[in-house]
Chain A
């Protein structure tokens, strides 16, 4: 697969993967490479932005974004690189404020106990805000390519679908039944209420109030009622975000490291992406150990070199260090072999249309433009 041609065809690249696998570095490298090829690129990170800033050689980047000096890699005409942190500090309360048709309704929702719980833990407002901003940025058409570094969590895909979570939470059938039953039950003293209530519904309601308590059901019902008016706003946004993520020119890339946990998560992502009909374009394995040598006799190979750098070293120290190096080399070779077996599990689930790239563990931390470009070489050039 021609990796450069692939990259030229993308408008949004989403890097997903667990933490500690060099996802930020990968996102930054893709950005640097594309910019060097003459495109106008934005690299986005959620949080913490410090890692992206560091890898680009900056102290910090804020919600405003920063333009990166590309001169060390001599970019082609028109190439520029920008980095931004998706500022997700806004709260879910603010979103409610925006979608609520009246102030009175907004206040009622905001003070509901069920809502308070939701806003704190369920709806994950940060994710929601970040998704909105991503959408704005991509659809603004300001950049040729946007590269997104997702948060280092297993549910990175949930993050992208957070508007959808709000939508499915309010499945109309459920809350319709709920609100109706609640209304009928609350007037059940009256003749009509009793009559209209289907017997199963009444039974179910009784059970619910037994298990969950009347007060809680009341809170839930009034919350559902108020939220109906807000539902449409969430649904529209959800549809727009989903179509952006499925549009031609959007590519999801799984980033992982060659250890069991990370590989398993990468495989899991592959499955999740296809289950959600999101375009999974390939897998990048970072931090791969390479060890080709099959002999482990350090004394024979390195004895002279050691004498060169440390003449007159104590013979027992000399023997000890050479033995250590031989043992370490043997272990490294075994590790490298084990990693190849592990990555085999990922390679085996890829289709011919998807790419597979390895980046060797680099001896120094990658934290400046030059080394990001080196990583880019491993990704986009070479075998």
Chain B
């Protein structure tokens, strides 16, 4: 379907008339038969015409916006009639409005602008710039000094007859200016005068140096103007004014003049923009002042130091502050805010690289705006608009989810983009202007802010108004007014050579490298925080390993006499305290013998127990014929010992026997012993006594010298084992604590980040990241313009009797309720107003059973549940 390149070439030749006659005839023939070809021809004709038009328009625009030369002179009075809008921080326009006379036309004809002045476009000052109050500012290097001096306001000066006679004496303010460095003077009423260096000359036009005394009188209020007898007329026609300022420089008492090549900026705060303003010169005569020769302005933009501009979304700093302490920071600082902000980036190297690749390989084909709408990096509510129109408009019973926002994330400008543009390379572009700062703050509120930002970034070599216009087309209705006001500003550009492609390449490079940094930091932090955890884990595994070897060792030391082919009883680590054998089962060969003895006749049973159970306790019974002791199998602290039938001869050996109990644990070492005659007793109760190792040794020696050595040895092993087990327990506990601590921190950080992300987020789509609370897919309802829902809910077998369904919004407020299980909900609440986009729950219940389903309403328009600190407008659905 796609026409081939060759075809374009052919058609181009045809349209431009560069085919030979024969070729043209042939082509005409082809054309007659092919609709597609006809379309192509039409397309190219129009395209070429459009290209020409576009270029022509640009020329017209350029030609009508350049400034001319000002002229120097000496006048002092300048009427600045202008008003500034503070709404979005518009720029200062400084012209006098030709007032409300009926003969506007004539006035215009009279005063055709001879040449326009390049005026400074300075924003309403804010606390961030470093102006001084009051009289001096010689030492203060002003905000804009040295940067954009070339675009300053040139004061139109005329001959000065300083014989204006005021009704009350002038309130003259004195300032000192050092010609070497210039200065920023701030008048009492808020006038800002920025004087560049080398701004004064003598009457011959030669630069002078030294300290200049600047005399300034402000007349911004009507009262002042009346008092000073400053009328606002131009040849008998009334002007409406915004203020007047008088400036006269002196050197050592002598009047000097303003240097026409180093103009001075003037800035006066006002309330409302009237773009028709012009600058007029004042001429005084006979004690009165008359204004004439108005000039229109051209608005150049002033470069401001990037450090002084605030590119971070409004209110973000306060959000961070509210979340402190964080990672040890208890106080807010701009570095902290910046680094937190940058770390919230949601892009990753693959997306950025992908974008860069796209740009490189498709450098001519792909433009910035398509790259930036790369859906894996950022999603905009707009881009994911569901245009599907469902025929049904009800919540039906059906399991199919329809629209699911696929791995959607947040929509906001990538913080790393912001970081990338706050670099030196962009210092000389219109990025570094108050005007851009204003626009950027608006962009932060757009769901497709990134896209809009990159429009500006790809048109740095053109007037800002070009980008304003392009942006206008991309924004939602609610923002159009703002962007229209931007367009109205007809903002131009800074006066610097802009190399767009270099800047674009630089921008991408920077983002990549910042991202790498962010990722490195994340990895490092991850490593550090889990380092302790890893330590503990390795310690634990060493311990457990040694534990198992200990077990083997412990068994190896048991008295196994002539154990041919019989392995010691196997016991799991957990069963260590019954490490004995069962009386009958496995066995050492000697016990076998004994067992035979038992089989003769009726063996005698004796129950041995201790008065109280102790941890890790064992009861041993001495088997006299074998001259050994064996542990008994215990159940509930009791063990059964068997002895041969009394009639057996061996029973005499057994008449004097003993049993003992041992317990070694964190409680200590306990011992109990009892000598008894099994034929006289069948219940033995042992009493514990606390003992130490040496005493134990003695006791055991006393009982039977032959056994104690191995018993002690095994006791020692036992001790070691217990100690080890204890250590392991401790370590496990430590590990657990550490894990919990890390988890807590992680949760805190995640909460911190997600709160901030939510603050920045401009789309109503919730994040489904790995940290998401509900990893399940959330269903989406998309009531589009026709209020058609696309959410089908299967309720399964439910009884319609006693059915209720409640739909609540994210704040828990019930927005809808019904008892009809086949209900259709039009996503409006009780008052019939449409429920805004967001997360909702539907709880339905019948006969005591209830179930809750979470879903999400996603509207095309910007209806949103307003998060606390933001303004949001409830909007109508779009056409």
Instruction: Tell whether A pairs with B.
Output: no
Chain B interfacial positions (CB closer than 8 Å to A)? none
Chain A interfacial positions (CB closer than 8 Å to B)? none
